[in-house]
Chains A and B, each alone.
Chain A
Protein backbone atom coordinates (compact mmCIF):
# COMPACT_ATOMS: atom_id res chain seq x y z
CA UNK A 1 0.00 0.00 0.00
CA UNK A 2 2.78 2.36 0.95
CA UNK A 3 4.54 1.42 -2.24
CA UNK A 4 1.41 2.27 -4.24
CA UNK A 5 1.14 5.66 -2.54
CA UNK A 6 4.76 6.46 -3.23
CA UNK A 7 4.36 5.67 -6.89
CA UNK A 8 1.18 7.71 -7.03
CA UNK A 9 3.00 10.64 -5.46
CA UNK A 10 5.77 10.49 -8.05
CA UNK A 11 3.29 10.31 -10.93
CA UNK A 12 1.34 13.27 -9.57
CA UNK A 13 4.55 15.28 -9.28
CA UNK A 14 5.39 14.31 -12.84
CA UNK A 15 1.98 15.61 -13.98
CA UNK A 16 2.55 18.90 -12.11
CA UNK A 17 5.88 19.28 -13.90
CA UNK A 18 4.36 18.33 -17.22
CA UNK A 19 3.87 21.85 -18.63
CA UNK A 20 7.40 22.81 -17.65
CA UNK A 21 8.85 19.65 -19.19
CA UNK A 22 6.87 20.15 -22.37
CA UNK A 23 8.15 23.71 -22.67
CA UNK A 24 11.73 22.61 -22.06
CA UNK A 25 11.36 19.85 -24.61
CA UNK A 26 9.95 22.32 -27.13
CA UNK A 27 12.92 24.59 -26.45
CA UNK A 28 15.48 21.84 -27.06
CA UNK A 29 13.68 20.73 -30.19
CA UNK A 30 13.47 24.29 -31.52
CA UNK A 31 17.19 24.73 -30.92
CA UNK A 32 17.98 21.92 -33.36
CA UNK A 33 15.15 22.68 -35.77
CA UNK A 34 15.97 26.34 -36.22
CA UNK A 35 19.72 26.36 -35.79
CA UNK A 36 20.99 28.08 -38.94
CA UNK A 37 24.35 26.23 -39.04
CA UNK A 38 22.68 22.83 -38.75
CA UNK A 39 19.86 23.59 -41.17
CA UNK A 40 21.44 25.28 -44.18
CA UNK A 41 18.96 25.19 -47.02
CA UNK A 42 21.00 23.53 -49.74
CA UNK A 43 22.33 20.65 -47.65
CA UNK A 44 21.26 20.57 -44.01
CA UNK A 45 23.39 18.66 -41.48
CA UNK A 46 20.31 17.59 -39.54
CA UNK A 47 18.11 15.23 -41.51
CA UNK A 48 15.21 15.08 -39.04
CA UNK A 49 14.29 15.39 -35.40
CA UNK A 50 12.14 13.25 -33.17
CA UNK A 51 11.02 14.08 -29.69
CA UNK A 52 9.26 12.21 -26.96
CA UNK A 53 7.60 12.85 -23.65
CA UNK A 54 7.53 9.78 -21.43
CA UNK A 55 4.01 8.58 -20.93
CA UNK A 56 3.07 8.62 -17.21
CA UNK A 57 1.93 4.97 -17.46
CA UNK A 58 5.30 3.94 -18.85
CA UNK A 59 6.98 5.88 -16.09
CA UNK A 60 4.94 3.96 -13.57
CA UNK A 61 6.15 0.65 -15.01
CA UNK A 62 9.73 1.90 -14.91
CA UNK A 63 9.48 2.98 -11.28
CA UNK A 64 8.02 -0.38 -10.29
CA UNK A 65 10.86 -2.08 -12.14
CA UNK A 66 13.36 -0.01 -10.22
CA UNK A 67 11.99 -1.07 -6.86
CA UNK A 68 14.62 -2.98 -4.96
CA UNK A 69 12.46 -5.42 -3.05
CA UNK A 70 10.49 -3.07 -0.89
CA UNK A 71 13.25 -0.47 -0.89
CA UNK A 72 12.34 2.48 -2.99
CA UNK A 73 15.13 3.85 -5.14
CA UNK A 74 13.14 6.58 -6.86
CA UNK A 75 11.17 9.27 -5.07
CA UNK A 76 9.68 12.68 -5.81
CA UNK A 77 12.90 14.50 -4.98
CA UNK A 78 15.29 12.44 -7.07
CA UNK A 79 12.99 11.58 -9.99
CA UNK A 80 14.89 13.69 -12.53
CA UNK A 81 18.22 12.61 -11.12
CA UNK A 82 17.40 8.92 -11.40
CA UNK A 83 15.54 9.02 -14.69
CA UNK A 84 17.24 11.27 -17.24
CA UNK A 85 15.18 10.47 -20.28
CA UNK A 86 11.67 11.56 -19.25
CA UNK A 87 11.87 13.95 -22.15
CA UNK A 88 14.11 13.32 -25.09
CA UNK A 89 15.08 14.66 -28.48
CA UNK A 90 16.66 12.52 -31.18
CA UNK A 91 18.71 14.27 -33.82
CA UNK A 92 19.23 12.27 -37.01
CA UNK A 93 21.90 12.93 -39.63
CA UNK A 94 23.36 11.01 -42.59
CA UNK A 95 27.01 10.24 -41.94
CA UNK A 96 29.57 10.55 -39.15
CA UNK A 97 31.62 13.39 -40.62
CA UNK A 98 28.59 15.61 -39.93
CA UNK A 99 28.71 14.85 -36.23
CA UNK A 100 31.47 17.27 -35.08
CA UNK A 101 29.37 20.23 -36.29
CA UNK A 102 26.37 19.11 -34.22
CA UNK A 103 28.58 18.47 -31.20
CA UNK A 104 30.17 21.93 -31.54
CA UNK A 105 26.79 23.67 -31.53
CA UNK A 106 25.69 21.79 -28.41
CA UNK A 107 28.90 22.86 -26.67
CA UNK A 108 28.29 26.47 -27.73
CA UNK A 109 24.80 26.35 -26.24
CA UNK A 110 26.31 25.14 -22.97
CA UNK A 111 28.96 27.87 -23.09
CA UNK A 112 26.28 30.52 -23.72
CA UNK A 113 24.93 29.69 -20.27
CA UNK A 114 21.48 28.47 -21.36
CA UNK A 115 22.05 24.76 -20.61
CA UNK A 116 24.20 22.66 -18.32
CA UNK A 117 25.41 19.09 -18.83
CA UNK A 118 23.99 16.75 -16.21
CA UNK A 119 26.50 14.07 -17.31
CA UNK A 120 29.43 14.20 -19.68
CA UNK A 121 28.43 13.37 -23.25
CA UNK A 122 28.85 9.68 -23.99
CA UNK A 123 29.25 7.83 -27.28
CA UNK A 124 28.30 4.17 -27.67
CA UNK A 125 30.42 2.46 -30.26
CA UNK A 126 32.25 -0.82 -30.84
CA UNK A 127 34.19 0.37 -33.83
CA UNK A 128 37.82 1.42 -33.22
CA UNK A 129 37.74 3.85 -36.12
CA UNK A 130 34.80 5.82 -34.76
CA UNK A 131 36.14 5.51 -31.21
CA UNK A 132 39.16 7.47 -32.41
CA UNK A 133 36.88 10.19 -33.81
CA UNK A 134 35.15 10.51 -30.43
CA UNK A 135 38.49 10.48 -28.60
CA UNK A 136 39.59 13.43 -30.71
CA UNK A 137 36.44 15.29 -29.61
CA UNK A 138 37.13 14.26 -26.00
CA UNK A 139 33.88 12.31 -25.78
CA UNK A 140 33.83 9.28 -23.47
CA UNK A 141 33.03 6.01 -25.30
CA UNK A 142 31.44 2.81 -24.14
CA UNK A 143 30.71 -0.55 -25.76
CA UNK A 144 27.30 -2.14 -25.28
CA UNK A 145 26.71 -5.86 -25.60
CA UNK A 146 24.09 -5.20 -28.23
CA UNK A 147 26.59 -3.15 -30.31
CA UNK A 148 24.21 -0.20 -30.03
CA UNK A 149 25.70 2.98 -31.51
CA UNK A 150 24.67 6.57 -30.77
CA UNK A 151 25.86 9.66 -28.85
CA UNK A 152 23.97 10.67 -25.71
CA UNK A 153 23.82 14.02 -23.93
CA UNK A 154 21.84 14.87 -20.81
CA UNK A 155 21.22 18.57 -20.40
CA UNK A 156 19.23 20.78 -18.00
CA UNK A 157 18.39 24.48 -17.73
CA UNK A 158 21.25 26.50 -16.21
CA UNK A 159 19.49 27.12 -12.89
CA UNK A 160 18.45 25.12 -9.85
CA UNK A 161 15.61 23.36 -11.66
CA UNK A 162 16.34 19.59 -11.77
CA UNK A 163 14.41 18.82 -14.98
CA UNK A 164 16.59 17.36 -17.69
CA UNK A 165 16.39 16.22 -21.28
CA UNK A 166 18.24 13.48 -23.11
CA UNK A 167 19.58 14.26 -26.54
CA UNK A 168 20.50 11.33 -28.79
CA UNK A 169 22.47 12.03 -31.91
CA UNK A 170 22.76 9.27 -34.48
CA UNK A 171 22.78 8.52 -38.20
CA UNK A 172 19.81 7.31 -40.19
CA UNK A 173 21.43 3.87 -40.52
CA UNK A 174 21.79 3.70 -36.76
CA UNK A 175 18.18 4.74 -36.41
CA UNK A 176 17.08 1.74 -38.46
CA UNK A 177 18.82 -0.56 -36.02
CA UNK A 178 17.33 1.32 -33.08
CA UNK A 179 13.80 1.08 -34.43
CA UNK A 180 14.04 -2.66 -35.13
CA UNK A 181 15.72 -3.37 -31.80
CA UNK A 182 13.06 -1.38 -29.96
CA UNK A 183 10.25 -3.30 -31.64
CA UNK A 184 11.80 -6.65 -30.79
CA UNK A 185 13.17 -5.91 -27.32
CA UNK A 186 10.69 -3.49 -25.77
CA UNK A 187 9.21 -3.66 -23.23
CA UNK A 188 10.40 -7.28 -22.77
CA UNK A 189 13.80 -8.26 -24.22
CA UNK A 190 13.57 -11.24 -26.53
CA UNK A 191 14.94 -14.55 -25.27
CA UNK A 192 15.35 -15.94 -28.75
CA UNK A 193 19.01 -16.32 -29.60
CA UNK A 194 18.35 -16.12 -33.33
CA UNK A 195 16.76 -12.68 -32.90
CA UNK A 196 19.48 -11.20 -30.74
CA UNK A 197 22.12 -12.73 -33.02
CA UNK A 198 20.62 -11.13 -36.07
CA UNK A 199 20.23 -7.82 -34.31
CA UNK A 200 23.96 -7.87 -33.58
CA UNK A 201 24.74 -8.53 -37.19
CA UNK A 202 22.37 -5.74 -38.19
CA UNK A 203 24.27 -3.43 -35.87
CA UNK A 204 27.51 -4.16 -37.70
CA UNK A 205 25.67 -3.71 -40.98
CA UNK A 206 24.29 -0.26 -40.14
CA UNK A 207 27.70 0.86 -38.86
CA UNK A 208 29.14 -0.25 -42.16
CA UNK A 209 26.30 1.57 -43.91
CA UNK A 210 27.18 4.80 -42.15
CA UNK A 211 30.86 4.21 -42.92
CA UNK A 212 30.00 3.72 -46.57
CA UNK A 213 28.00 6.96 -46.57
CA UNK A 214 31.05 8.75 -45.12
CA UNK A 215 33.20 7.22 -47.79
CA UNK A 216 30.84 8.30 -50.56
CA UNK A 217 30.68 11.88 -49.29
CA UNK A 218 34.46 12.02 -48.80
CA UNK A 219 35.14 10.85 -52.33
CA UNK A 220 32.45 13.18 -53.65
CA UNK A 221 34.07 16.13 -51.88
CA UNK A 222 37.48 15.07 -53.13
CA UNK A 223 36.20 14.86 -56.69
CA UNK A 224 34.57 18.28 -56.50
CA UNK A 225 37.65 19.90 -54.99
CA UNK A 226 39.91 18.55 -57.74
CA UNK A 227 37.65 19.27 -60.68
Chain B
Protein backbone atom coordinates (compact mmCIF):
# COMPACT_ATOMS: atom_id res chain seq x y z
CA UNK B 1 0.00 0.00 0.00
CA UNK B 2 1.23 3.47 -0.87
CA UNK B 3 -0.18 6.78 0.29
CA UNK B 4 -0.17 9.54 -2.30
CA UNK B 5 -1.09 13.13 -1.66
CA UNK B 6 -2.20 15.79 -4.11
CA UNK B 7 -0.91 19.24 -3.33
CA UNK B 8 -0.68 22.69 -4.79
CA UNK B 9 0.05 25.88 -2.89
CA UNK B 10 -2.53 27.64 -5.09
CA UNK B 11 -6.19 26.73 -4.73
CA UNK B 12 -8.72 26.38 -7.51
CA UNK B 13 -6.43 24.56 -9.94
CA UNK B 14 -8.76 21.57 -10.25
CA UNK B 15 -6.79 19.44 -7.81
CA UNK B 16 -9.82 17.69 -6.34
CA UNK B 17 -11.39 17.11 -9.76
CA UNK B 18 -8.15 15.55 -10.95
CA UNK B 19 -7.90 13.46 -7.78
CA UNK B 20 -11.48 12.25 -8.16
CA UNK B 21 -10.93 11.13 -11.75
CA UNK B 22 -7.54 9.65 -10.94
CA UNK B 23 -9.10 7.51 -8.22
CA UNK B 24 -11.83 6.31 -10.57
CA UNK B 25 -9.34 5.56 -13.33
CA UNK B 26 -7.04 3.62 -10.98
CA UNK B 27 -9.95 1.64 -9.57
CA UNK B 28 -11.20 0.79 -13.05
CA UNK B 29 -7.71 -0.42 -13.85
CA UNK B 30 -8.20 -2.95 -11.06
CA UNK B 31 -6.51 -1.21 -8.12
CA UNK B 32 -8.27 -0.86 -4.80
CA UNK B 33 -8.38 2.80 -3.86
CA UNK B 34 -9.27 4.83 -0.78
CA UNK B 35 -9.85 8.58 -0.97
CA UNK B 36 -9.20 10.56 2.20
CA UNK B 37 -10.42 14.14 1.99
CA UNK B 38 -8.24 16.30 4.24
CA UNK B 39 -9.12 19.54 2.52
CA UNK B 40 -11.68 21.33 4.71
CA UNK B 41 -13.23 22.69 1.48
CA UNK B 42 -14.34 19.08 0.81
CA UNK B 43 -14.43 19.40 -2.99
CA UNK B 44 -13.34 15.79 -3.42
CA UNK B 45 -16.11 14.63 -1.09
CA UNK B 46 -18.68 16.72 -2.93
CA UNK B 47 -17.59 15.17 -6.23
CA UNK B 48 -18.68 11.79 -4.91
CA UNK B 49 -21.73 12.44 -2.78
CA UNK B 50 -24.63 14.83 -2.43
CA UNK B 51 -24.28 17.74 -0.04
CA UNK B 52 -27.38 16.55 1.82
CA UNK B 53 -25.73 13.19 2.38
CA UNK B 54 -22.59 14.87 3.70
CA UNK B 55 -24.69 17.12 5.89
CA UNK B 56 -26.28 14.04 7.46
CA UNK B 57 -22.85 12.54 8.16
CA UNK B 58 -21.64 15.77 9.76
CA UNK B 59 -24.82 16.30 11.77
CA UNK B 60 -24.58 12.90 13.44
CA UNK B 61 -20.97 13.66 14.34
CA UNK B 62 -21.52 17.14 15.75
CA UNK B 63 -21.72 16.10 19.43
CA UNK B 64 -18.52 14.05 19.05
CA UNK B 65 -16.65 16.89 17.38
CA UNK B 66 -17.75 19.15 20.27
CA UNK B 67 -16.76 16.71 23.02
CA UNK B 68 -15.92 13.18 22.01
CA UNK B 69 -15.67 11.72 25.48
CA UNK B 70 -19.00 12.88 26.82
CA UNK B 71 -20.79 12.14 23.54
CA UNK B 72 -19.50 8.57 23.43
CA UNK B 73 -20.89 7.83 26.91
CA UNK B 74 -24.17 6.95 25.25
CA UNK B 75 -23.01 3.51 24.07
CA UNK B 76 -26.11 2.64 22.04
CA UNK B 77 -25.95 5.89 20.15
CA UNK B 78 -22.19 5.58 19.72
CA UNK B 79 -22.43 2.08 18.25
CA UNK B 80 -25.07 3.30 15.84
CA UNK B 81 -22.92 6.27 14.80
CA UNK B 82 -19.79 4.23 14.12
CA UNK B 83 -21.72 1.59 12.20
CA UNK B 84 -22.00 4.17 9.40
CA UNK B 85 -19.30 5.94 7.36
CA UNK B 86 -17.63 8.78 9.27
CA UNK B 87 -15.60 11.82 8.27
CA UNK B 88 -11.83 11.94 8.64
CA UNK B 89 -12.15 14.46 11.46
CA UNK B 90 -14.31 12.06 13.44
CA UNK B 91 -11.61 9.38 13.04
CA UNK B 92 -8.89 11.80 14.17
CA UNK B 93 -10.93 13.10 17.08
CA UNK B 94 -9.93 10.62 19.85
CA UNK B 95 -6.27 11.52 19.31
CA UNK B 96 -7.15 15.21 19.12
CA UNK B 97 -8.87 14.94 22.51
CA UNK B 98 -6.08 12.78 23.96
CA UNK B 99 -8.38 9.76 24.39
CA UNK B 100 -7.71 6.09 23.70
CA UNK B 101 -7.46 5.00 20.10
CA UNK B 102 -10.70 3.91 18.42
CA UNK B 103 -11.25 0.18 18.68
CA UNK B 104 -13.83 -0.06 15.95
CA UNK B 105 -13.40 1.77 12.68
CA UNK B 106 -16.45 2.86 10.76
CA UNK B 107 -16.86 1.57 7.22
CA UNK B 108 -15.63 3.87 4.48
CA UNK B 109 -18.17 5.20 2.01
CA UNK B 110 -18.28 3.14 -1.17
CA UNK B 111 -18.31 5.22 -4.39
CA UNK B 112 -17.69 2.57 -7.03
CA UNK B 113 -16.31 -0.97 -7.22
CA UNK B 114 -12.77 -0.83 -5.76
CA UNK B 115 -13.22 2.82 -4.72
CA UNK B 116 -14.01 4.08 -1.22
CA UNK B 117 -14.02 7.48 0.44
CA UNK B 118 -13.46 8.84 3.92
CA UNK B 119 -15.28 12.18 3.64
CA UNK B 120 -13.82 15.50 4.71
CA UNK B 121 -15.11 17.90 7.32
CA UNK B 122 -14.93 21.66 7.63
CA UNK B 123 -13.90 21.45 11.30
CA UNK B 124 -10.47 19.89 10.68
CA UNK B 125 -8.72 23.08 11.88
CA UNK B 126 -9.36 21.88 15.43
CA UNK B 127 -7.11 18.92 14.80
CA UNK B 128 -4.56 21.20 13.17
CA UNK B 129 -4.48 23.37 16.31
CA UNK B 130 -3.62 20.32 18.39
CA UNK B 131 -0.73 19.42 16.09
CA UNK B 132 0.67 22.92 16.58
CA UNK B 133 0.21 22.69 20.34
CA UNK B 134 1.93 19.29 20.59
CA UNK B 135 4.61 19.67 17.92
CA UNK B 136 7.55 20.36 20.25
CA UNK B 137 6.68 17.25 22.26
CA UNK B 138 7.58 15.12 19.25
CA UNK B 139 11.26 15.97 19.71
CA UNK B 140 10.95 14.59 23.23
CA UNK B 141 9.33 11.38 22.10
CA UNK B 142 6.08 12.35 23.81
CA UNK B 143 3.60 9.60 22.96
CA UNK B 144 0.57 11.80 22.36
CA UNK B 145 2.59 14.21 20.22
CA UNK B 146 3.89 11.36 18.05
CA UNK B 147 0.42 9.84 17.82
CA UNK B 148 -1.00 13.18 16.71
CA UNK B 149 1.63 13.66 14.00
CA UNK B 150 1.33 10.13 12.63
CA UNK B 151 -2.43 9.85 13.06
CA UNK B 152 -3.37 10.44 9.40
CA UNK B 153 -0.84 7.84 8.31
CA UNK B 154 -1.89 5.31 10.92
CA UNK B 155 -5.56 5.69 9.91
CA UNK B 156 -4.59 5.06 6.26
CA UNK B 157 -2.60 2.01 7.35
CA UNK B 158 -5.41 0.62 9.50
CA UNK B 159 -8.00 0.97 6.74
CA UNK B 160 -5.63 -0.53 4.19
CA UNK B 161 -5.00 -3.49 6.44
CA UNK B 162 -8.71 -4.09 6.80
CA UNK B 163 -9.90 -3.31 3.26
CA UNK B 164 -6.74 -4.20 1.31
CA UNK B 165 -6.22 -0.93 -0.53
CA UNK B 166 -3.41 -0.65 -3.04
CA UNK B 167 -3.33 3.14 -2.88
CA UNK B 168 -4.68 5.81 -0.59
CA UNK B 169 -5.17 9.19 -2.27
CA UNK B 170 -5.19 12.17 0.09
CA UNK B 171 -6.57 15.49 -1.02
CA UNK B 172 -5.12 18.47 0.82
CA UNK B 173 -5.82 22.17 1.24
CA UNK B 174 -3.56 24.67 -0.57
CA UNK B 175 -1.84 25.65 2.69
CA UNK B 176 1.74 25.00 3.75
CA UNK B 177 0.66 25.04 7.38
CA UNK B 178 1.30 22.45 10.06
CA UNK B 179 -1.53 20.06 9.07
CA UNK B 180 -0.12 19.69 5.58
CA UNK B 181 3.40 19.54 6.99
CA UNK B 182 2.46 16.41 8.92
CA UNK B 183 0.37 14.91 6.10
CA UNK B 184 2.83 15.45 3.28
CA UNK B 185 5.87 14.53 5.36
CA UNK B 186 4.35 11.21 6.44
CA UNK B 187 2.93 9.97 3.11
CA UNK B 188 4.93 8.12 0.47
CA UNK B 189 4.59 10.35 -2.57
CA UNK B 190 2.94 13.55 -3.78
CA UNK B 191 1.93 15.07 -7.08
CA UNK B 192 1.37 18.71 -7.99
CA UNK B 193 -1.52 19.56 -10.31
CA UNK B 194 -0.81 22.98 -11.74
CA UNK B 195 -2.16 25.58 -14.08
CA UNK B 196 0.12 27.17 -16.66
CA UNK B 197 0.78 30.40 -14.78
CA UNK B 198 3.28 32.02 -12.45
CA UNK B 199 1.39 30.72 -9.40
CA UNK B 200 2.49 27.21 -10.32
CA UNK B 201 6.11 28.20 -10.54
CA UNK B 202 5.93 29.78 -7.11
CA UNK B 203 3.82 26.91 -5.81
CA UNK B 204 6.51 24.38 -6.72
CA UNK B 205 9.20 26.67 -5.34
CA UNK B 206 7.31 26.97 -2.05
CA UNK B 207 6.64 23.27 -1.63
CA UNK B 208 10.29 22.55 -2.42
CA UNK B 209 11.50 25.00 0.21
CA UNK B 210 8.98 23.75 2.75
CA UNK B 211 9.90 20.12 2.12
CA UNK B 212 13.53 20.85 2.85
CA UNK B 213 12.60 22.55 6.11
CA UNK B 214 10.13 19.82 7.07
CA UNK B 215 12.60 17.08 6.30
CA UNK B 216 15.15 18.71 8.58
CA UNK B 217 12.60 18.83 11.39
CA UNK B 218 11.53 15.22 10.89
CA UNK B 219 15.15 14.04 10.69
CA UNK B 220 15.80 15.74 14.01
CA UNK B 221 12.76 14.08 15.55
CA UNK B 222 13.95 10.70 14.22
CA UNK B 223 17.41 11.27 15.69
CA UNK B 224 15.97 11.83 19.15
CA UNK B 225 13.22 9.22 19.48
CA UNK B 226 13.71 5.53 20.17
CA UNK B 227 14.00 3.00 17.35
CA UNK B 228 10.63 1.62 18.42
CA UNK B 229 8.86 4.99 18.12
CA UNK B 230 10.60 5.72 14.82
CA UNK B 231 8.64 2.80 13.33
CA UNK B 232 5.44 4.87 13.40
CA UNK B 233 6.87 6.99 10.59
CA UNK B 234 7.63 5.96 7.01
CA UNK B 235 11.16 4.70 6.33
CA UNK B 236 11.77 7.11 3.52
CA UNK B 237 10.86 10.79 3.35
CA UNK B 238 8.08 11.71 0.90
CA UNK B 239 8.99 11.65 -2.77
CA UNK B 240 7.90 14.00 -5.54
CA UNK B 241 6.15 11.98 -8.24
CA UNK B 242 5.64 14.73 -10.76
CA UNK B 243 3.36 17.52 -11.87
CA UNK B 244 0.64 17.86 -14.38
CA UNK B 245 -0.75 20.82 -16.21
CA UNK B 246 -4.46 20.78 -15.68
CA UNK B 247 -7.44 22.59 -17.05
CA UNK B 248 -5.39 24.57 -19.61
CA UNK B 249 -6.95 26.21 -22.63
CA UNK B 250 -6.25 24.34 -25.85
CA UNK B 251 -4.85 26.55 -28.55
CA UNK B 252 -6.60 25.85 -31.83
CA UNK B 253 -3.89 26.19 -34.37
CA UNK B 254 -2.76 23.81 -37.06
CA UNK B 255 0.06 22.97 -36.96
CA UNK B 256 0.31 23.63 -33.19
CA UNK B 257 2.86 26.26 -32.23
CA UNK B 258 4.25 24.23 -29.30
CA UNK B 259 4.35 20.63 -28.20
CA UNK B 260 1.42 20.78 -25.78
CA UNK B 261 -0.89 22.79 -28.00
CA UNK B 262 -1.09 25.65 -25.52
CA UNK B 263 -1.34 29.38 -25.95
CA UNK B 264 2.19 30.75 -26.13
CA UNK B 265 1.73 32.76 -22.92
CA UNK B 266 0.76 29.56 -21.09
CA UNK B 267 3.48 27.49 -22.67
CA UNK B 268 6.00 30.04 -21.47
CA UNK B 269 5.25 29.05 -17.87
CA UNK B 270 5.03 25.32 -18.55
CA UNK B 271 8.48 25.36 -20.10
CA UNK B 272 9.95 26.73 -16.89
CA UNK B 273 8.49 24.10 -14.57
CA UNK B 274 11.27 21.45 -14.96
CA UNK B 275 13.91 24.04 -14.11
CA UNK B 276 12.03 25.15 -11.01
CA UNK B 277 11.62 21.53 -9.88
CA UNK B 278 15.33 20.88 -10.32
CA UNK B 279 16.25 23.97 -8.40
CA UNK B 280 13.80 23.80 -5.53
CA UNK B 281 12.96 20.13 -4.97
CA UNK B 282 16.00 18.37 -3.56
CA UNK B 283 17.31 15.53 -5.67
CA UNK B 284 16.80 12.84 -3.05
CA UNK B 285 13.18 13.96 -2.75
CA UNK B 286 12.57 13.27 -6.42
CA UNK B 287 12.60 9.50 -5.94
CA UNK B 288 14.26 7.52 -8.65
CA UNK B 289 12.67 9.45 -11.47
CA UNK B 290 14.95 9.87 -14.43
CA UNK B 291 15.41 13.46 -15.53
CA UNK B 292 13.29 13.11 -18.66
CA UNK B 293 10.42 11.52 -16.72
CA UNK B 294 10.55 14.15 -14.00
CA UNK B 295 10.61 16.95 -16.58
CA UNK B 296 7.52 15.73 -18.45
CA UNK B 297 4.04 16.24 -17.02
CA UNK B 298 2.42 13.05 -15.68
CA UNK B 299 0.66 11.40 -18.62
CA UNK B 300 2.08 13.95 -21.07
CA UNK B 301 -0.78 16.11 -22.32
CA UNK B 302 -3.42 13.42 -21.67
CA UNK B 303 -5.35 15.43 -19.07
CA UNK B 304 -3.80 18.80 -19.80
CA UNK B 305 -6.54 20.55 -21.74
CA UNK B 306 -9.75 21.85 -20.30
CA UNK B 307 -12.88 19.74 -20.48
CA UNK B 308 -14.99 22.89 -20.31
CA UNK B 309 -18.29 22.13 -18.58
CA UNK B 310 -17.73 18.37 -18.33
CA UNK B 311 -16.35 18.37 -14.78
CA UNK B 312 -19.29 20.35 -13.40
CA UNK B 313 -21.77 18.03 -15.11
CA UNK B 314 -19.86 15.05 -13.71
CA UNK B 315 -19.93 16.63 -10.26
CA UNK B 316 -23.68 17.16 -10.49
CA UNK B 317 -24.11 13.48 -11.34
CA UNK B 318 -21.51 12.32 -8.75
CA UNK B 319 -19.59 10.27 -11.28
CA UNK B 320 -16.45 10.61 -13.40
CA UNK B 321 -16.88 12.39 -16.74
CA UNK B 322 -16.79 9.22 -18.80
CA UNK B 323 -19.72 7.80 -16.84
CA UNK B 324 -21.89 10.86 -17.51
CA UNK B 325 -23.65 9.35 -20.58
CA UNK B 326 -24.63 6.18 -18.67
CA UNK B 327 -25.64 7.90 -15.47
CA UNK B 328 -27.52 10.62 -17.33
CA UNK B 329 -29.38 8.16 -19.56
CA UNK B 330 -30.36 6.03 -16.59
CA UNK B 331 -31.70 9.06 -14.75
CA UNK B 332 -33.55 10.24 -17.82
CA UNK B 333 -35.31 6.91 -17.90
CA UNK B 334 -35.86 6.31 -14.19
CA UNK B 335 -35.91 9.70 -12.50
CA UNK B 336 -36.36 12.55 -14.98
CA UNK B 337 -37.82 14.69 -12.19
CA UNK B 338 -34.44 14.71 -10.48
CA UNK B 339 -32.69 16.02 -13.60
CA UNK B 340 -35.28 18.79 -13.82
CA UNK B 341 -34.75 19.61 -10.18
CA UNK B 342 -31.01 20.02 -10.59
CA UNK B 343 -31.58 21.75 -13.95
CA UNK B 344 -29.28 19.46 -15.83
CA UNK B 345 -29.44 18.72 -19.50
CA UNK B 346 -26.73 16.92 -21.43
CA UNK B 347 -26.56 16.97 -25.21
CA UNK B 348 -26.47 13.42 -26.58
CA UNK B 349 -24.13 14.63 -29.28
CA UNK B 350 -21.37 15.12 -26.71
CA UNK B 351 -21.66 11.61 -25.24
CA UNK B 352 -18.71 10.45 -27.34
CA UNK B 353 -16.50 13.21 -25.98
CA UNK B 354 -17.53 12.41 -22.41
CA UNK B 355 -16.65 8.75 -22.94
CA UNK B 356 -13.34 9.63 -24.55
CA UNK B 357 -12.09 11.19 -21.29
CA UNK B 358 -11.73 7.70 -19.84
CA UNK B 359 -8.77 6.88 -22.05
CA UNK B 360 -7.11 10.18 -21.17
CA UNK B 361 -7.31 9.52 -17.44
CA UNK B 362 -6.14 5.97 -17.95
CA UNK B 363 -3.02 7.26 -19.67
CA UNK B 364 -2.51 9.63 -16.76
CA UNK B 365 -3.12 6.91 -14.16
CA UNK B 366 -0.80 4.45 -15.89
CA UNK B 367 2.03 6.95 -16.01
CA UNK B 368 1.53 7.67 -12.33
CA UNK B 369 1.53 3.92 -11.57
CA UNK B 370 4.86 3.62 -13.33
CA UNK B 371 6.27 6.49 -11.30
CA UNK B 372 4.89 5.01 -8.08
CA UNK B 373 6.84 1.87 -8.84
CA UNK B 374 9.95 3.84 -7.92
CA UNK B 375 8.72 4.53 -4.37
Residues of A within 8 A of B (CB): 19-20, 23-24, 26-27, 30-31, 113-114, 157-159, 161, 163
Contacts and interface: CB of A to CB of B under 8 A. Distances in A.
Chain B at the A interface: mostly helix, strand, loop or mixed?
helix
Contact of B139 (A23, A158, A161, A163): A23
A31 B140 CA distance: 8
B374 interface: no
A23 B220 contact: yes
Interface stretch (B98-106, B223-231, B269-277): B223-231
B85 interface: no
6 contacts: A23-B220, A26-B140, A157-B141, A159-B224, A159-B230, A163-B223
Contact of B220 (A20, A30, A158): A20
Contacts of A114: 141, 225-226, 229
B140 A158 contact: no
B140 A113 contact: no
Nearest to A112: B226
A38 B274 CA distance: 57
A157 B225 contact: yes
A27 B140 contact: yes
A114 B229 CA distance: 9
A45 to B, nearest CB: 20
B136 interface: yes
A27 B228 CA distance: 17
Contacts of B220: 19-20, 23
A157 B139 contact: no
A26 B228 contact: no
A24 B226 contact: no
Given A27-B141, A113-B228, A159-B226, 5 more contacts: A23-B139, A26-B139, A27-B140, A157-B223, A159-B222
A61 to B, nearest CB: 27
B346 to A, nearest CB: 58
Given A19-B220, A20-B220, A23-B220, A157 B226 contact: yes
Given A26-B136, A113-B228, A159 B223 contact: yes
Interface residues on B, range: 10 to 19
B139 A27 contact: yes
Contacts of B229: 114
A20 B224 contact: yes
A108 to B, nearest CB: 14
Contacts of B139: 23-24, 26-27
Interface in B17-40: none
Given A27-B141, A30-B140, A31-B140, A158 B227 contact: yes
Q: 10 closest Cβ contacts across the A-B interface? A: A27-B140, A23-B139, A158-B226, A161-B223, A113-B226, A157-B224, A114-B141, A20-B220, A159-B227, A24-B224
A83 to B, nearest CB: 18
Contacts of A157: 141, 223-226
Given A30-B140, A31-B140, A114-B141, A23 B226 contact: no
A27 B226 contact: no
Contacts of B228: 113, 158
Contact of B225 (A30, A31, A159, A163): A159
Interface string B226-263: 11111000000000000000000000000000000000
A113 to B, nearest CB: 5
Contact of B224 (A30, A31, A113, A161): A161
A26 B140 CA distance: 8
Contacts of A163: 223
Nearest to A160: B227
Contacts of B230: 159
A39 B279 CA distance: 51
A115 to B, nearest CB: 8
Nearest to A161: B223
Contacts of B140: 23, 26-27, 30-31
A23 B218 CA distance: 12
Interface in B188-245: 220, 222-230
Contacts of A23: 139-140, 220, 224
B227 to A, nearest CB: 5
Nearest to B216: A19
B224 to A, nearest CB: 5
A114 B140 CA distance: 9
